Amino acid sequence: MLFNSNNGAKIEYIIAGLGNPGLQYAATRHNTGFRAIDYIAAKCNTKIDKLKHKALTGRCVIGDKGVLLLKPQTFMNLSGEAVADAAKFYKIPVQNVIIIFDDCSLPVGSHRLRLKGSAGGHNGIKSIIESLGSDGFPRYKVGIGEKPYPDMDLADYVLGNITDDDEKTMAEGFADLLPSLELLMGGQPERAMSRYNK
Protein backbone atom coordinates (compact mmCIF):
# COMPACT_ATOMS: atom_id res chain seq x y z
CA MET A 1 0.00 0.00 0.00
CA LEU A 2 1.25 3.43 -0.91
CA PHE A 3 -0.10 6.59 0.66
CA ASN A 4 1.87 9.80 0.39
CA SER A 5 1.81 13.46 -0.44
CA ASN A 6 1.40 14.34 -4.10
CA ASN A 7 4.63 14.33 -6.07
CA GLY A 8 3.27 15.96 -9.19
CA ALA A 9 0.99 13.05 -10.10
CA LYS A 10 -1.93 13.92 -12.31
CA ILE A 11 -5.20 14.28 -10.44
CA GLU A 12 -7.37 11.30 -11.39
CA TYR A 13 -9.75 11.22 -8.42
CA ILE A 14 -11.50 13.63 -6.09
CA ILE A 15 -12.24 12.55 -2.52
CA ALA A 16 -14.58 15.04 -0.84
CA GLY A 17 -15.59 14.89 2.80
CA LEU A 18 -18.76 16.77 3.70
CA GLY A 19 -19.23 19.18 6.58
CA ASN A 20 -19.84 22.79 7.52
CA PRO A 21 -17.10 25.42 7.76
CA GLY A 22 -16.45 27.38 10.95
CA LEU A 23 -15.34 26.61 14.48
CA GLN A 24 -18.92 26.36 15.73
CA TYR A 25 -19.41 23.24 13.58
CA ALA A 26 -15.98 21.65 13.93
CA ALA A 27 -16.94 19.18 16.67
CA THR A 28 -20.38 18.26 15.30
CA ARG A 29 -21.41 14.84 14.02
CA HIS A 30 -22.32 16.41 10.67
CA ASN A 31 -18.63 17.20 10.10
CA THR A 32 -17.65 13.54 10.00
CA GLY A 33 -16.68 13.87 6.33
CA PHE A 34 -14.21 16.60 7.24
CA ARG A 35 -12.75 14.32 9.94
CA ALA A 36 -12.25 11.56 7.40
CA ILE A 37 -10.42 13.90 5.01
CA ASP A 38 -8.19 15.13 7.83
CA TYR A 39 -7.38 11.51 8.71
CA ILE A 40 -6.49 10.66 5.10
CA ALA A 41 -4.37 13.81 4.80
CA ALA A 42 -2.45 12.98 7.97
CA LYS A 43 -1.74 9.43 6.79
CA CYS A 44 -0.60 10.77 3.41
CA ASN A 45 1.57 13.45 5.04
CA THR A 46 -0.21 16.30 3.29
CA LYS A 47 -2.22 19.35 4.33
CA ILE A 48 -5.70 20.56 3.43
CA ASP A 49 -4.85 24.25 3.35
CA LYS A 50 -5.34 25.65 -0.16
CA LEU A 51 -8.60 27.48 -0.83
CA LYS A 52 -9.71 26.52 -4.35
CA HIS A 53 -13.02 25.53 -5.96
CA LYS A 54 -14.97 26.91 -2.97
CA ALA A 55 -13.17 24.35 -0.80
CA LEU A 56 -10.08 23.69 1.25
CA THR A 57 -7.96 21.31 -0.80
CA GLY A 58 -4.84 19.20 -0.67
CA ARG A 59 -3.16 16.70 -2.98
CA CYS A 60 -1.94 13.19 -2.27
CA VAL A 61 -1.31 9.80 -3.84
CA ILE A 62 -3.26 6.70 -2.82
CA GLY A 63 -1.95 3.54 -4.42
CA ASP A 64 -0.70 4.96 -7.71
CA LYS A 65 -3.54 7.46 -8.19
CA GLY A 66 -3.23 11.22 -7.87
CA VAL A 67 -5.99 12.50 -5.60
CA LEU A 68 -7.46 15.90 -4.78
CA LEU A 69 -8.75 15.94 -1.20
CA LEU A 70 -11.64 18.35 -0.76
CA LYS A 71 -13.45 19.95 2.19
CA PRO A 72 -16.23 22.15 0.70
CA GLN A 73 -16.56 25.54 2.39
CA THR A 74 -20.04 26.23 0.98
CA PHE A 75 -21.99 24.75 3.90
CA MET A 76 -23.53 21.31 3.63
CA ASN A 77 -26.58 22.17 1.53
CA LEU A 78 -24.41 23.60 -1.27
CA SER A 79 -21.64 20.98 -1.23
CA GLY A 80 -22.25 20.22 -4.89
CA GLU A 81 -21.00 23.64 -5.97
CA ALA A 82 -17.49 22.88 -4.73
CA VAL A 83 -17.44 19.27 -5.88
CA ALA A 84 -18.71 20.07 -9.38
CA ASP A 85 -16.32 23.01 -9.78
CA ALA A 86 -13.31 20.83 -8.94
CA ALA A 87 -14.54 17.96 -11.12
CA LYS A 88 -14.98 20.30 -14.08
CA PHE A 89 -11.56 21.91 -13.59
CA TYR A 90 -9.69 18.59 -13.45
CA LYS A 91 -12.01 16.87 -15.97
CA ILE A 92 -12.82 14.11 -13.49
CA PRO A 93 -15.59 11.68 -14.55
CA VAL A 94 -18.41 11.23 -12.08
CA GLN A 95 -17.37 7.66 -11.22
CA ASN A 96 -14.03 9.04 -9.99
CA VAL A 97 -15.66 11.49 -7.58
CA ILE A 98 -15.75 9.87 -4.13
CA ILE A 99 -17.82 11.39 -1.32
CA ILE A 100 -17.51 10.71 2.43
CA PHE A 101 -20.36 11.76 4.72
CA ASP A 102 -22.14 11.05 8.01
CA ASP A 103 -24.95 8.52 8.36
CA CYS A 104 -27.10 8.10 11.46
CA SER A 105 -28.34 4.63 10.46
CA LEU A 106 -24.90 3.05 10.96
CA PRO A 107 -23.08 2.38 14.24
CA VAL A 108 -20.36 4.82 15.23
CA GLY A 109 -17.06 3.98 13.57
CA SER A 110 -18.48 1.76 10.83
CA HIS A 111 -18.52 2.74 7.19
CA ARG A 112 -20.23 1.46 4.08
CA LEU A 113 -19.21 1.97 0.46
CA ARG A 114 -21.93 2.32 -2.18
CA LEU A 115 -21.16 2.92 -5.85
CA LYS A 116 -24.26 5.02 -6.61
CA GLY A 117 -27.72 5.81 -5.32
CA SER A 118 -30.15 8.42 -4.13
CA ALA A 119 -29.48 11.14 -1.57
CA GLY A 120 -31.32 9.20 1.13
CA GLY A 121 -32.38 12.44 2.78
CA HIS A 122 -28.82 13.81 3.09
CA ASN A 123 -28.79 17.41 1.84
CA GLY A 124 -25.10 17.38 0.97
CA ILE A 125 -25.52 14.34 -1.28
CA LYS A 126 -28.67 15.86 -2.78
CA SER A 127 -26.68 18.98 -3.73
CA ILE A 128 -23.90 16.90 -5.31
CA ILE A 129 -26.36 14.84 -7.36
CA GLU A 130 -27.98 18.05 -8.62
CA SER A 131 -24.65 19.73 -9.41
CA LEU A 132 -23.07 16.73 -11.14
CA GLY A 133 -26.31 15.77 -12.88
CA SER A 134 -25.80 12.17 -11.79
CA ASP A 135 -26.04 9.89 -8.76
CA GLY A 136 -23.39 7.57 -10.19
CA PHE A 137 -20.56 8.54 -7.85
CA PRO A 138 -19.12 6.26 -5.14
CA ARG A 139 -19.79 7.31 -1.58
CA TYR A 140 -18.75 6.20 1.89
CA LYS A 141 -21.36 6.48 4.60
CA VAL A 142 -19.64 6.83 7.99
CA GLY A 143 -21.70 5.87 11.01
CA ILE A 144 -22.47 8.47 13.67
CA GLY A 145 -24.98 6.28 15.52
CA GLU A 146 -28.72 6.61 15.91
CA LYS A 147 -30.50 9.42 17.72
CA PRO A 148 -30.67 8.73 21.46
CA TYR A 149 -34.48 8.89 21.36
CA PRO A 150 -36.83 8.66 18.36
CA ASP A 151 -38.59 12.02 18.66
CA MET A 152 -35.34 14.00 18.81
CA ASP A 153 -35.01 16.42 15.90
CA LEU A 154 -32.52 15.01 13.38
CA ALA A 155 -30.92 18.41 12.78
CA ASP A 156 -30.32 18.81 16.50
CA TYR A 157 -28.65 15.42 16.60
CA VAL A 158 -26.33 15.78 13.62
CA LEU A 159 -25.41 19.34 14.59
CA GLY A 160 -24.69 18.27 18.15
CA ASN A 161 -21.11 17.76 19.26
CA ILE A 162 -19.65 14.27 19.02
CA THR A 163 -18.59 12.71 22.31
CA ASP A 164 -14.93 12.00 23.03
CA ASP A 165 -15.61 8.24 23.12
CA ASP A 166 -17.43 8.31 19.78
CA GLU A 167 -14.67 10.38 18.20
CA LYS A 168 -12.10 7.82 19.32
CA THR A 169 -14.22 4.96 17.94
CA MET A 170 -14.64 6.83 14.67
CA ALA A 171 -10.90 7.43 14.34
CA GLU A 172 -10.28 3.71 14.82
CA GLY A 173 -12.80 2.98 12.09
CA PHE A 174 -11.03 5.31 9.69
CA ALA A 175 -8.09 2.86 9.63
CA ASP A 176 -10.00 0.80 7.06
CA LEU A 177 -10.72 3.76 4.79
CA LEU A 178 -7.36 3.97 3.04
CA PRO A 179 -7.09 0.30 2.03
CA SER A 180 -10.72 0.39 0.94
CA LEU A 181 -10.09 3.49 -1.15
CA GLU A 182 -7.02 1.89 -2.70
CA LEU A 183 -9.09 -1.13 -3.78
CA LEU A 184 -11.90 1.07 -5.09
CA MET A 185 -9.55 3.24 -7.13
CA GLY A 186 -7.65 0.17 -8.29
CA GLY A 187 -10.76 -1.17 -10.00
CA GLN A 188 -11.78 -3.60 -7.25
CA PRO A 189 -14.90 -2.02 -5.71
CA GLU A 190 -16.58 -5.35 -4.94
CA ARG A 191 -13.52 -6.49 -3.02
CA ALA A 192 -13.43 -3.17 -1.15
CA MET A 193 -17.08 -3.61 -0.13
CA SER A 194 -16.80 -7.27 0.85
CA ARG A 195 -13.64 -6.73 2.88
CA TYR A 196 -14.26 -3.37 4.56
CA ASN A 197 -17.98 -2.58 4.61
CA LYS A 198 -19.29 -2.94 8.18
Catalytic residue (one of 30, 53, 111, 122): 30
Angle of helix 189-196 versus helix 177-185 axis, rounded to 10: 160
145 vs 118: CA distance, rounded Å: 20
The sign one gets for the Cα dihedral 90, 134, 97, 123 is: positive
| Residue 30 annotated among the catalytic residues of the structure | yes
162 vs 22: CA distance, rounded Å: 16
Which positions ≥6 away from 106 have C-beta within 8 Å? 112, 141, 142, 143, 144, 145, 198
78 vs 47: CA distance, rounded Å: 23
- Residues with a known catalytic role: 30
